[in-house]
Chain A
Amino acid sequence: MSTTDSPPAPTGAQFLATQASPEFQELRTRLRRFVFPMTAFFLLWYGLYVLLGAFAHDFMAAKVFGNVNVGLLIGLGQFLSTFVITGLYVRFANRELDPRAAAIRAQLEGDVR
C-alpha cells in the first residue's frame, strides 16, 4: 500500500495528550452514557422475556385478541424494541459522536503534518 498522502502516524505523546484533552473526554463520556445504559436496558428486557418464556407459561398463553396471546405480543415487542434502539443509536451517533470524532481526528492528523 502506498503511503504518499497518508500522514505519518501520531506519536505516543500525541495520543496521550489527545486522550487527556477535554474534547476527547467529552466524546468518550457521551458514548458511554448512551451505550452502557441502553445495553443494560435491552439485556434486562430480553432476560425478562426469556424468564417469562421459561417460567410463566400461563401468563404468556393468555389470549389478547383472536389467537394472538401475550407471549406473541412480547416477542414481537422484542423485534420492535430492537428496531427502535437501532434507530435511536444511529440518530445519536450521527448527531453527537461523528462531528466530535471528526474534529479530534482532523486536529490530531493536522498536528502531525
Chain B
Amino acid sequence: MITYSAAETIGNPVANMAIFGVFVLVTLFVVIRASKRNATADEFFTGGRAFSGPQNGIAIAGDYLSAASFLGIAGAIAVYGYDGFLYSIGFLVAWLVALLLVAELLRNTGKFTMADVLSFRLKQKPVRLAAAISTMTVSLFYLLAQMAGAGGLVALLLDVKSRSGQSIVIAVVGILMIVYVLVGGMKGTTWVQIIKAVLLITGAALMTVMVLAKFGLNFSDILGSAQSAISGSSNAAVAKRDVLAPGAQYGGSLTSKINFISLALALVLGTAGLPHVLMRFYTVPTAKEARRSVVWAIGLIGAFYLFTLVLGYGAAAIVGPDRILAAAGGQNSAAPLLAFELGGVVLLGIISAVAFATILAVVAGLTITASASFAHDVYASVVHHGKRAVSEAEQVKVSRITAVVLGILGIGLGILANGQNIAFLVALAFAVAAAANLPTIIYSLYWKRFNTRGALWSMYGGLISTIALIVFSPAVSGAKTAMIPSMDFAYFPLANPGIVSIPLAFLLGIVGTLSSPDRGDPARNAEMEVRSLTGVGAEKAIAH
C-alpha cells in the first residue's frame, strides 16, 4: 500500500514545484507592476475602485473557489457521489442572495469594510467593533483551514512527508501571502486572484473535456462507469454506496439528515455575509459594475461546479475509489490523480501548481480583509474615536502591520493545526457569516425601524451561539473523527450549528430592535436609504 501510494500520488515533485515557482514569479511581477501607487487608503483597500465588473467577477471567483472547492468537492463526488454535488449547489445558489439583496446596495453605502454599511445609521463604536470581531473571526477560521490544508497538499503533491518539511512549506505560503498584501494591497491581491481563477477554471475545463472525450461525450456512460467502479471497491462500505443518488454521506440517521439540512442552510446564507467577498464589491466604481461582477462570478462559479461534477465522477470511473482513498491526501487526491491519468506529469504539475496558487490567493484575500477591518474599524473608529482623527495614511500603515501579524499568526496556527481534522472550519466560517453578519446586513438595508440594540444582539448572539454550539458538537469532541477524540463534551448532536444559530440571530435582531425605543435619526435613515438605492455620493466621489 505504501509503495503503491508513493508511486501513484506524486508524479514528479520537481515538475510540480517548478510550475508553481513560475506562477509565483509571474504573479510577483504583476503585483509589483500593478502597485506603483498604493499610498492612499482608497488605493490600498479597494485598488482605487478601478476594476471593471468582469475583472472583479473573475477575482470573486478566484477568491471563492478555494482549494476546498476544487480538491474537496471533486474528491467528495468521486467517493460519495451525489452528496458532494449537493455541496456545490449550496455554494452556487448562495450567490443569488448576494446579487438580489446585498451587492449593489452595499457598494452604494460603504467605503472600505462591511462595518461601514452596518454602522451607517447606527451607533458607530459598538456596531463597528462587533462587525470587526465577526469579520476577523470568520477570516481567521477560513485562513486556518487554508493554511493547514496546505500541509496536506504538500504531502500529496511535493512528496514532502516530514512534519518539519511541511511546516517550512506552510511558512513559505504565509510569507508569500504577506508579500502580496504588503506590496500589492487590494490591487495586487486582485490580480493574483484573477490570474489564479483563469488558471483554475481553464485547467478544470481542459480536464473536463478530456474526461468527456474519453467517454465519447456520453455523460450517462461516465455515471455508469463511476457506479461500477465504486461497486467494485475492495472496501465493503464503499462498494455498497449508490453514488448516483443522495444519501451516501448524509443518509442514515435522522440526526445526520438534520445535520445536512443545517449545513445546506449555512452554505446558502453564508456567502453574502463573508467579509472578504463583501469587500470585493468596493473595488468597482458603481453599483452597476457590482451587479456585473456578481453576474460574472455566478457564470464562472456555476461552470466550475459543473466541471467538478464531471471530474468527480470521472475520477471515480478512471482512477477508482481504492486508489483515491489509498493516496496520501485521501479523497482530496481525486483531482490530482485524475490529472495524472489524463495528462501525465505535465498536467499533474499544472493542476498541483493551481491548487497551491488557490491557497495563496485565498489567504491573501482573507488577510487584506481582516487587516483592513482592524485598521479602519477598530483602530481608527474605536480606539481613537473622539480623541483624534486618524488619517487614511495611518490606517494603511496600521493595516500593513496587522497583515504581517496575521500572516505570522496564520503560519504558527497552520503549523500547529497541520494534520488536525479541521475540514469543518470552512463550514464553520460560513455558519458564522450567515448567523453573525447576514441578518444585520439585511435588516440595516431593508428595515427602517432596525436599531443599534437589534444589531448588537443579532451579531453577538449569532457569533457566540455558533461558536458555542460547535465547541459542544461532535466535530470537536466525542467522536473518532473529532479534533479531541479522547474527550467527550459533545452535548449538541449536530456538527453544523446553522439550523439553530441562524434563525436565532434573525430573531434576536427583531427582539432587540423592538425592545428598544431607539428609532435612530430620521435624516440619517433617509440618507442611507437614498444613498443605497441611488448611489448618490458614492459614484462621484471616486472620480479621482
Contact = CB atoms under 8 A, between A and B. Distances in A.
Interface residues of A, number: 59
B306 interface: yes
Contacts of B288: 98
B106 interface: no
Interface residues of B, number: 66
Contacts of A42: 93, 96
Nearest to B303: A79
Interface in B254-306: 257, 260-261, 264, 268, 287-288, 291, 294-295, 298-299, 302, 305-306
Contacts of A38: 100
A67 B521 CA distance: 61
B419 interface: no
Contact of B524 (A12, A31, A105): A12
Contact of B541 (A6, A28, A49): A6
A101 B93 CA distance: 27
A98 B93 CA distance: 25
A66 interface: yes
A93 B534 CA distance: 12
B520 interface: no
Contacts of B533: 24, 27-28, 31, 101
**Chain B binding surface SS class:** helix
Contact of A90 (B93, B295, B534): B295
Contacts of A75: 82, 85-86, 89
A65 B220 contact: yes
B97 interface: yes
Contact of B295 (A15, A46, A86, A104): A86
B246 A60 contact: yes
Contacts of B523: 12-13, 15-16
A66 B224 contact: yes
A82 B220 contact: no
B40 interface: yes
Interface string A48-88: 01111111010011000111110110010011001101100
A101 to B, nearest CB: 4
B100 A46 contact: no
Nearest to B89: A78
B302 A79 contact: yes
Interface in A10-29: 10, 12-13, 15-16, 18-19, 24, 27-28
* List of 8 A-B pairs having minimum Cβ-Cβ separation, nearest first: A12-B523, A66-B220, A61-B245, A67-B223, A19-B526, A53-B246, A15-B527, A15-B526
